[in-house]
Amino acid sequence: MKETLLGLLNDIREARAQGPEALIQRQRTRLAEIVAYVRDKSPYYRKLYQDLPEHVDDARLLPVTSKKSLMAHFNDWVTDRSVTIEQVRTFVENPAMVGEMFQDKYLASIGTGTRGLRGIYLMDNWPGPVYAALTAYQNNVWFPDGELLRVLTCDGGRATLVSTSSNFPFHVNTVRRAKNNPRVARKNRIISVHTPLSEQVAQLNEFRPTVLESVLNF
């Protein structure tokens, strides 16, 4: 895949122009690449997939995993052998590290544990541009005829209501985007859902955002 935002957007358009069958084939090719990668890098998946065919491009062939199993075998599950659960847990449980990079290469976050088990997640620099490209493409569908550009270039910015009590994924990603881009920092404001409602309203009235988003479960 192409690594720049523009390159990724062009890649999306080219893929869609090729039709449904080409999209399905692309999905199968990438799934096979992922399976091959984790078999090579992760002892957990190497054992889990030992009875599968050498080439797997159908997700229905893959054994079901669970967060409970993955967290219990974290040190064997991760594909980077320098990462351990003890290191990551210490990192994500430190509020001062929100938006910082674990080992200078991974964005680390922790789930809310609403189902009784808190998952720990690592993300390198690659998913960010992919997510941005997918979001930009979808926004062009939702905001046709130049409406998206008018929204993005108006005086207001984006306000995000989010739980800031821990290094939750959405909070971590929002903080990181602001640290990476001064313009994003100026045009975005994080408002903690833990502040009194009257203070949330006051901050929104003062900032006057064009876009308001709220993610309370991450």
| pLDDT band per the 50, 70, 90 thresholds, residue 155 | low
Q: Give the start-to-end residue ranges of the domains of the chain.
A: 77-125+156-218
Q: Would you say residue 73 has pLDDT above 70?
A: yes
| Structure confidence at residue 1 (pLDDT) | 53
Please state, in angstroms and rounded to a whole number, the distance separating the CA atoms of residues 143 and 120. Answer: 35
DSSP secondary-structure letter at 64? P
Contact 125, 101 (CB under 8 A): no
Task: Output the CA torsion sign for 123, 121, 63, 130.
Answer: negative
Over residues 119-143, the pLDDT tens digits come to: 898 988 777 778 778 777 777 777 7
Angle, helices 5-17/20-41, rounded to nearest 10 degrees: 130
Residue 89, classed as helix, strand or coil, is: helix
Closest CA relative to residue 101, chosen from 84, 118, 88: 88
- Please give the model's pTM, rounded to 2 decimal places: 0.76
Over residues 194-214, the pLDDT tens digits come to: 899 999 999 999 988 887 887
Please return the burial class of 48, using the count of CB atoms within 10 Å of its CB with bins 0-12, 13-18 and 19+: buried
